[in-house]
Structures are given as structure tokens and as C-alpha cells.
Amino acid sequence: MTTIAHQLHRVHEQIAIACQQCHRQPADVALLAVSKTFPAQAVREAALAGQRAFGENYIQEGVDKIAAVRAMTDLPALQWHCIGPVQSNKTKLVAQHFDWVHTVDRDKIAQRLNDQRPQELTPLQVCIQVNVDGGTTKSGCTPQAALALAQVITQLPRLQLRGVMSIPDPQPTDEAMLAVHRKVVQVFENIRTSGMNGLAQFDTISLGMTADMHTAIAAGSTMVRVGSGIFGARDYAKA
């Protein structure tokens, strides 16, 4: 078993333990392998070990990696998620190459992604990024603005609203981290129960990373984003 395959197995075990502790089913929590800064070969190893969904933060790096991986004829089709900030000058790349984008935080970005999504592709799957704890250095709309943004996205035919995403700051205790994670889940519930049209596939709470996925799962996360726990420590100088 390769190191990546071994680490991937360990992460699935950790998810199962976290689910058991809060009386949830492991099948209800998807794993997104965050492959930013790692080469296409690392993605290949994870894919051969059974991983199918991969997240990229840096858009151009992600586009290049998607092309390299798709050229590997021994791999099944993989699902690619953009989980980094999306500026206006990068929306076309995201719309053309990714399957999901987790970081839509304003009307303008949603509209550009919709207009630039090729007609031959299925609608782009979208999560609203929520800056739930008000961190000044982070992207994301406020929790209060999420419902209005959801209403905009559900009117755009080339986008499919799937849920919400957040990257809360670390907290000093698990109890404090759980409380913040629950605020994200509440934003999801506010949208889900709003009665607006276009929520038939609204099912995703993208929340929790390597260090905090246990509290995210306890709060109700349906997708955890794990990078170093699978691929090891990153060397950002090579990014």
C-alpha cells in the first residue's frame, strides 16, 4: 500500500470514528481530497486507491493538473472542485474546467460563472462561501447575506446550488469550534427551509478540514476537505 493510499484509509477511519461518536453514518460524509501544490502523480495514487473527488485552491494550477490527470488513460473519471477564491478574471477557467465551485460569495461571480459555463457541460455545482466568524482576511458573504445570494443563484440556469461552505478560524477548544460550525449549519438550514425554488439538490455542507473535521462532522458537515492528512505536509515554495 502506498503512503497516500495508507493515509487515505486512515482518514476514512477517522471519519467513521467521528460519525460513530455523534450517531451518524459514515456514508453521509463525503471526502474531498485537497490536492493543491501536489503533482498529478499524487492525484493518480489517490485515485487508484479509490478517491474520486479532488479540490484545488489555485485555479491555474488546478486547470493544468486536471489536464494532466485526464491524459492518464488508466484512471476513471474524477470530480474536480474549486475551493479557492474566485476573482472575476478567473471565472471562465472555473466555468470551463471544474465540476464544482465552493467559493461563490457575491452576485457578480455567480453571474459570470453562469454566463461562461459551456452549454455542452452539465450545470456547475455551486456552494455559497460564508464567512461565519467575520474573519477580516477571509472571503465569503456574511451569514445574513447568504439567503439573498441563494435566491440569485437559483435563477441562473447554468448553475446548480448545492449548499454552503465555510473555513472558520481555529478555536481554543472543541466546544468553541463546534459552536462556530453549528452557525454554518444554521445558514444551510435557513436556506433549505426558505421555500425558494431550485433547491431540489441542496444537500451539501462543505465544512471541516484535517484539524477540525471531527467537530465539523458533529455539527452536521456532509463534506470534509482534507489535504495534508492524505498527501502530507505541503511545500508552498513549489506551488
Mean pLDDT over 132-140 rounds to 81
Look up residue 79 and give its three cell numbers: 470530480
CA–CA separation, 104 vs 83, rounded Å? Answer: 9
Between 139 and 91, name the one with better pLDDT.
Answer: 91
Predicted model pTM = 0.95
| Residues 6+ away with beta carbon under 8 Å from 185 | 205, 207, 219, 220, 221
CA–CA separation, 68 vs 44, rounded Å? Answer: 10
Mean pLDDT over 40-48 rounds to 97
Nearest of 192, 230, 201 to residue 213 by alpha carbon: 230
Taking residue 209's Cβ as centre, other Cβ atoms within 10 Å add up to 18
Q: What is the mean pLDDT of the chain?
A: 95
Look up residue 86 and give its three cell numbers: 474566485
Task: Write down the pLDDT at residue 237.
Answer: 62
Q: In this prediction, what percent of the chain has a pLDDT beyond 90?
A: 92
Task: Write down the pLDDT at residue 97.
Answer: 98
Task: Write down the pLDDT at residue 88.
Answer: 96
CA–CA separation, 217 vs 26, rounded Å? Answer: 10
Pairing mode, strands 53-56 and 79-82: parallel
* Cα–Cα separations (whole angstroms), residue 122 to 9, 132, 189, 207, 236: 31, 30, 26, 24, 33
The stretches of the chain forming alpha helices (DSSP H) are 3-21, 40-48, 59-70, 91-97, 107-116, 146-153, 174-192, 213-219, 228-231
Task: Write down the pLDDT at residue 238.
Answer: 55
Domains and CATH numbers, the chain: 3-232 (3.20.20.10)
Mean pLDDT over 47-57 rounds to 97
Contact 208, 217 (CB under 8 A): yes
pLDDT digits (tens, 9 = 90+) for 141-187: 999 999 999 999 999 999 999 999 999 999 999 999 999 999 999 99
Q: Residue 138's pLDDT band (boundaries 50, 70, 90)?
A: confident
Q: b/e for 79-117, b at 16 or more Cβ within 10 A?
A: ebbbbbbbeeebbbbbbebbbbbbbbbbbebbbbbbeeb
Q: Residue 19's pLDDT band (boundaries 50, 70, 90)?
A: very high
Task: Write down the pLDDT at residue 233.
Answer: 85
CA 111: distance to chain centroid?
A: 20
Task: Write down the pLDDT at residue 2.
Answer: 73
CA–CA separation, 118 vs 124, rounded Å? Answer: 10
Above 80 in pLDDT, residue 10?
yes
| Residues 6+ away with beta carbon under 8 Å from 19 | 25, 26, 28, 29, 217
Look up residue 207 and give its three cell numbers: 465544512
Above 90 in pLDDT, residue 1?
no
| Residues 6+ away with beta carbon under 8 Å from 170 | 177, 211, 212
Task: Write down the pLDDT at residue 23.
Answer: 98
pLDDT digits (tens, 9 = 90+) for 180-239: 999 999 999 999 999 999 999 999 999 999 999 999 999 999 999 999 999 998 776 655
